[in-house]
Amino acid sequence: MTTADTPTTPEATKSDTPFMRVIKTYVLRAGRMGPGQTRAFEQFGPKFLVPYTPERLDVAAAFGRSAPLILEIGFGMGDATAKIAHTRPDDNFLCCEVHVPGVGALLKRCGEESIGNIRIVQHDAIEVMDHMLGENSLDGVHIFFPDPWHKSRHHKRRLIQSAFVNRLAKHIKPGGYLHLATDWEPYAEQMMQVVSAEPLLKNTATDPSGFAEKPAYRPLTKFENRGLKLGHGVWDLVFTRV
């Protein structure tokens, strides 16, 4: 999935003002585009790509309909995103990713599989939230397998930090949800600590661990399937906005 650096300021700004931070929610990775992905930008980009602009997005116009809006931050090559969109045709999915081959791959699937409920913004998710989306505008947020930054000295680069989660929570409507997933147990524990401490969010899990059962809509990725066969765990967190 896309990787993410964390905000450098410890507090969110006042209501509906841009989140002040220097470090972006991603780190660009080198990657080569295949011919199919390159063609997808030309053939399907005009329909499925939403250009970043520092002004409020007319979501209904972008999707051609009004429907619950789910923001996905970092979709990698887009396989899970496409499957979820197929599974939930009544929801709109606004997906942020900066990895060009991944954007091309998802564009290709959207076009070839006629996935009409996905739109892609190839830009930093925080700036998309703060400038294109209002607070209390999202019915859900998905962040699946963000970079765990394994080394201790790199933990500050992890996406799931208090200031970022607070900003996310303010953009989610009351009753909406935040769904996180990771296959790195120490990061799962940090996620649980950070998200549990956010007063705007409430854990939906009934398990004493606080982790949720994998929602049926989230498919197993090839990487995840390999890990499960090797005995590796995957941890889902599902919280709702109070």
pLDDT value of residue 155: 85
Which of 5, 79, 91, 147 is the catalytic position? 147
The annotation status of 112 as a binding-site residue, yes or no, is no
pLDDT reading at 238 higher than 60: yes
Give the global pTM. Answer: 0.85
What pairing do the DSSP bridges indicate for beta strands 201-203 and 235-241? antiparallel
Residue 147 catalytic? yes
What's the mean per-residue pLDDT of the chain?
87
- The total of other beta-carbon atoms located within 10 Å of residue 233's CB is 12
Is 139 labelled as part of a ligand binding site? no
The response to whether 130 counts as a known ligand-binding position is: no
Of the candidates 185, 168, 127, 160, the residue with the CA atom closest to the CA atom of residue 5 = 160
Which one-letter amino acid corresponds to residue 63?
F
Residue 122 CA, chain-centre distance (Å), reads 12
Evaluate whether 3 touches 29 at the Cβ level (below 8 Å).
yes
Q: Judge whether residue 14 has pLDDT over 90.
A: no
Assigned CATH for 48-241: 3.40.50.150
Q: Is 229 annotated as a binding residue?
A: no
Contact at 8 Å (CB) between 63 and 44?
A: no
Q: Is 72 annotated as a binding residue?
A: yes
Q: What residue segments make up the domains of the chain, in order of their start? A: 48-241
Q: At residue 77, what is the residue type?
A: M
Distance CA 212, CA 241 (A): 16
Q: Band the pLDDT of 228: cuts 50, 70, 90.
A: confident
151 has binding-site annotation: yes
* Parallel/antiparallel/unpaired status of strands 92-96 and 69-73: parallel
The token pair at 97 is: 């990713």
Token couple for 150: 């394994």
d(CA 130, CA 96) in angstroms, rounded, equals: 13
